[in-house]
């Protein structure tokens, strides 16, 4: 029997795919100040949400651009660190500070690079 998750409609958490939040984890003190929610809105009922950490350029200087695309959050250039994508408890993602839907193709391509190596 597979994993069973409760089903509910999109938007139940009050956040949207590609919303940006202050990083609630310990990595915030390590040059990673934001996370972007990359999980589909169709999975809002889950208790965790997949996020990609966003870091200052110096933190991502030795990785391919396709793996760490540059995004702008509140006027600050940051690299999306696809190889550091991880789930966070949904309850920690409360107030978005920005949305990166305009960068969705680059973020999805970065996750594809993690999964397929391309």
Percent of the chain past pLDDT 90, that is, above it, reads 53
Residue 38 lies in a domain: yes
Residue 3 covered by a domain: no
Nearest to 65 by CA among 73, 53, 74, 57: 57
Residue 2 lies in a domain: no
Residue 47 lies in a domain: yes
In-domain check, residue 10: no
Assigned domain for 8 exists? no
Which residues face 111 on adjacent strands?
A: none
Quick: pLDDT tens for 22-70.
Answer: 988 765 556 678 999 999 888 877 788 999 999 888 755 677 788 899 9
CA distance 8 to 85: 24
Is residue 1 in some structural domain?
no
Stated pTM of the model: 0.80
Instruction: Yes or no: say if 82 and 66 are a contact pair by the CB < 8 Å rule.
Output: no
CATH number, domain containing residue 55: 2.30.30.110
Which DSSP helix (H) or strand (E) runs through 47?
Answer: none
Total count of domains within the chain: 1
Q: Is 51 a member of any domain?
A: yes
The predicted model gives 71-91 an average pLDDT of 93
Q: Domain range for residue 111?
A: 19-116
């Amino acid at each position: 029997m597979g994993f069973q998750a409760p089903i509910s409609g999109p938007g139940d958490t009050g956040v949207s795919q590609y919303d940006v939040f202050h990083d609630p984890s310990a990595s915030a003190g390590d040059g990673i100040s934001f996370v972007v929610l990359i999980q589909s809105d169709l999975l809002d009922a889950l208790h965790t949400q997949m996020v990609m950490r966003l870091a200052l350029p110096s933190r991502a200087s030795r990785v391919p651009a396709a793996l760490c695309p540059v995004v702008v959050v509140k006027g600050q250039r940051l690299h999306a660190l696809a190889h550091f994508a991880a789930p966070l408890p949904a309850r920690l993602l409360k107030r978005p500070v920005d949305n990166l839907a305009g960068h969705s193709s680059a973020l999805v391509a970065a996750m594809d690079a993690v999964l397929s190596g391309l």
